[in-house]
């Protein structure tokens, strides 16, 4: 018994290799993610967030929120789990993997999950649940939609004509590893 999700059409294009078939969510893996989240609070290592990466029916990596214990604002459970999974696989993508996270991903983790090219994402708590517990990330979703000059962190272009050199070098290189 599980929950089936369907890829939206655009993701089917993005995630070449997966034919867009439904992915079965396994409650056992979500329970593990939830348990990791609760244990993380009890141990004092970080916030109430846990994630597991599953490949071929097996957990290949786990992650918990380590922001405060490692002084790393990017150490959200999903990012920690993605890094561990990629290390375990010796790969920079998670094709064929399903990620179970105890909470709906924040914008950073959502982007990281898309970059990882994982096959599907299952989440436990909703973003609204997170907001009620003091973890409101809705401002980030709003921020992304705002023009640069209206964002909270001042963001301005500088030396664009010099920066383009990096892209020119990338384009010219014939033996690069594309991703």
Catalytic residue annotation: 78
Confirm or reject binding of residue 30 to Zn ion (CB under 5 A).
no
Nearest to 29 by CA among 62, 7, 64, 6: 62
CA distances from 67 to 55, 76, 134 (A): 26, 7, 15
The DSSP string of 158-178 is --HHHHHHHHHHHHH-SS---
Sheet of 97-103, strand order: 58-64, 50-55, 97-103, 120-125
Whole-angstrom distance, CA of residue 78 vs CA of residue 86: 12
| Cβ 78 to Zn ion shortest distance, Å | 6
Q: Which of residues 69-88 bind Zn ion (CB under 5 A)?
A: 76
Q: How far is the CB of 113 from Zn ion (least distance, A)?
A: 9
Distance (Å, whole) CA 17 – CA 160: 36
The least CB distance from residue 152 to Zn ion, in Å, is: 18
DSSP three-state, residue 97: strand
> What are the residues whose beta carbons fall under 8 Å from the beta carbon of 152, sequence distance 6 or more?
143
Q: Does 106 bind Zn ion (CB under 5 A)?
A: yes
Residue 55 near Zn ion by CB under 5 A: no
Task: Give the total of residues touching Zn ion (CB under 5 A).
Answer: 4
Please pick, from the candidates 103, 109, 121, 130, the single residue that binds Zn ion as defined by CB under 5 A.
Answer: 109
| For Zn ion, the closer CB: 126 or 169 | 126
Shortest spacing between CB 94 and Zn ion, in angstroms? 16
Interface stretch with Zn ion, choices 40-48, 104-112, 140-148, 164-172 (CB under 5 A): 104-112
- Which stretch in 23-31, 85-93, 99-107, 143-151 sits in contact with Zn ion by CB under 5 A? 99-107
User: What is the distance between the alpha carbons of residues 43 and 17, in angstroms, rounded to a whole number?
Assistant: 40
From 36-44, 51-59, 105-113, 166-174, give the range in contact with Zn ion by CB under 5 A.
Answer: 105-113
Residues forming contacts to Zn ion in the complex (CB under 5 A) are: 76, 106, 108-109
């Amino acid at each position: 018994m599980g929950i089936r999700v369907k890829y939206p059409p655009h993701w089917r294009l993005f995630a070449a290799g997966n034919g867009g078939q439904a992915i079965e969510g396994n409650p056992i893996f979500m329970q593990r993610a939830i348990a990791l989240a609760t244990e993380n609070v009890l141990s004092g290592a970080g916030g109430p967030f846990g994630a597991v990466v599953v490949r071929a029916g097996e957990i290949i990596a786990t992650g918990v929120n380590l922001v405060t214990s490692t002084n790393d604002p990017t150490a959200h459970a999903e990012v920690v789990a993605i890094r561990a999974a990629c290390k375990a696989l010796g790969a920079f993508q998670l094709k064929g993997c399903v990620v179970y996270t105890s909470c709906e991903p924040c914008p950073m983790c959502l982007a990281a999950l898309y970059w990882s090219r994982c096959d599907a994402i299952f989440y436990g708590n909703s973003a609204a649940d997170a907001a009620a517990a003091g973890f409101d990330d809705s401002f980030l979703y709003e921020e992304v939609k705002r023009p640069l000059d209206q964002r909270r962190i001042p963001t301005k272009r500088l030396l664009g004509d010099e920066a383009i050199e990096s892209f020119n070098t990338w384009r010219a290189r014939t033996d690069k590893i594309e991703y």
